[in-house]
Structure 1
Amino acid sequence: MPVEIDITQRLAAIADATLEIVATEGIDGVTIRAVARRMGGSTTLVTNYLPTREALLRNAIEHALASWDAEVGQVAGEATAGERLSDVVRWACSTEGNDQVLRRLFMEVLGRVGPESEASQVLREDSRQNRDLLADAARDAGAADAAFVADVLHLMLRGFYLSSLEDPERWTSERVAPLIERLVRLLTASS
């Protein structure tokens, strides 16, 4: 009788192994064989669920984004309407756990694969959802032009993600948090 596999757990384990490889070897190290080896099994351990390298990358990105979505959802849910924007952007400019690895993965994926790739599409949809979250939070904060506030903050945060990879010692969460909080105050002050 075949062993029953929890597909959700298997995909999460594959995502974890993929991210471990990205952390140690970069995106070039991600192959079906390398992920299977990291998990201690044969390639069919991976290919039964994710048949291509692109699917491996998409799976890792989807799992990382689901974790981030849960975190930001909790932050937004615990904040009052007036504090939601500040709390969300403060969370977005934090760097914890494997955030740097994920940012590097996202930048490499966006720089290397075409805009129609599965991974690029997942990242694009997440970007749009994050921008919409900022617009909703800006509206809740009473911003006169919530769309403008969301656009500025979205671009600022994306710039921080790149800067934190270019010069991680200089562009830390501790340095950026007060800057972005000041920017939020400036953008919502006329409201």
Structure 2
Amino acid sequence: MPVEIDIDQRLATIADATLEIVAADGLDGVSIRAVAKRIGGSTTLVTNYLPTREALLQNAIEHAMRGWATEMDQAVEGADASGRLLAMARWACSTTGDDEVLRRLFMEILGRGGPGSDSLKALNEDGRQNHEMLAGAARDAGAADPAFAADVLHLVFRGFYVAGLEDPERWNSERMTPLIDRLVRLLTTGP
């Protein structure tokens, strides 16, 4: 009788192995063979689910985004409409778990990804969805110009991701939290 395989769990295992490789060796270390070795199987174990290196990277990105969506839901849980934007902003400027590795991966993909890259498309779509969520939260928080507030916050978050990689001792959650609190107040209370 064939063994039943939980495909979602297998893809999560492959994604975790991919991210471990990125942490240890950077984007250049990611290959089907390296991932198979990391999970203790043959290359077929990987290619049955993800046939290319690009598919490996996209799987890792989508896995990370699902994790981040769950974390953000937890961060805004219990916040009223006016507090949701602040909760989202504080969460976006925090660094926990493997955030640094993921941000490094995202930056490398942004720098290297060609126009047809599925990984780059996934990052672009995630950015658009996050921007829309910020605009909705800004509207709910009473911002005079929710689209402007979403633009500013989106750019600040992306800048934090780069600055946090460039100088993590200086640009950390502790430094960002009061800055974000003040910025959200300015964006939602008007001039």
Match in the other structure for 1:55: 55
Distance in 2 separating the partners of 1:28 and 1:139: 42
Q: Deviations over 1:14-41 (max 9, x none)?
A: 0000000001111100000000000001
**Map of 1:150 onto structure 2:** 150
Q: Which residue of 2 aligns with 1:125?
A: 125
Q: Is the 8 A contact 2:32 2:53 kept in 1?
A: yes
Match of 1:91 in 2: 91
- Alignment partners' CA distance in 2, 1:84 and 1:149: 14
Unaligned runs of 5+ in 2: none
Q: By how many angstroms is 1:2 displaced?
A: 2.4
Specify the code of the residue in structure 2 equivalent to 1:64: A
Asked if the contact 2:142/2:189 (under 8 Å) is kept, the reply is no
Q: Aligned equivalents of 2:25 and 2:162: distance in 1?
A: 19
Matched with 1:160 is: 160
Map of 2:27 onto structure 1: 27
How many matched pairs? 191
Q: What secondary structure is seen at the aligned counterpart in 1 of 2:95?
A: coil
**Counterpart of 1:14 in structure 2: which amino acid?**
I
Q: Paired residue for 1:43?
A: 43
**Structure 1 residue 4: deviation in Å?**
1.6
Task: Work out the CA distance in 1 between the residues paired with 2:115 and 2:170.
Answer: 31
SS in 1 for 2:151: helix
Displacement of 1:113 after TM fit? Answer: 1.3
SS of residue matched to 2:22:
helix
| Residue 43 of structure 1, CA deviation | 0.2
Q: 1:73 offset after TM fit, Å? A: 1.9
Q: What's the CA shift for 1:189?
A: 1.3
Percent identity, aligned pairs only, is 70
Q: CA deviation at 1:61?
A: 0.3
* RMSD (Å), alpha carbons: 1.0
Under a length normalisation based on structure 2, what TM-score does the superposition of the two structures give?
0.97
Of 181-190 and 155-164, the range deviating more from structure 2: 181-190
Q: Tell me, yes or no, if structure 1 residue 78 matches structure 2 residue 93.
A: no
Give how far 1:5 is off.
1.0
With the length of structure 1 as denominator, give the TM-score of the two structures: 0.97
- In 2, distance between residues paired with 1:78 and 1:26? 38
Paired residue for 2:186? 186
In the alignment, what sits opposite 1:175? 175
Instruction: Give the Cα separation in 1 of the matches to 2:157 and 2:166.
Output: 14
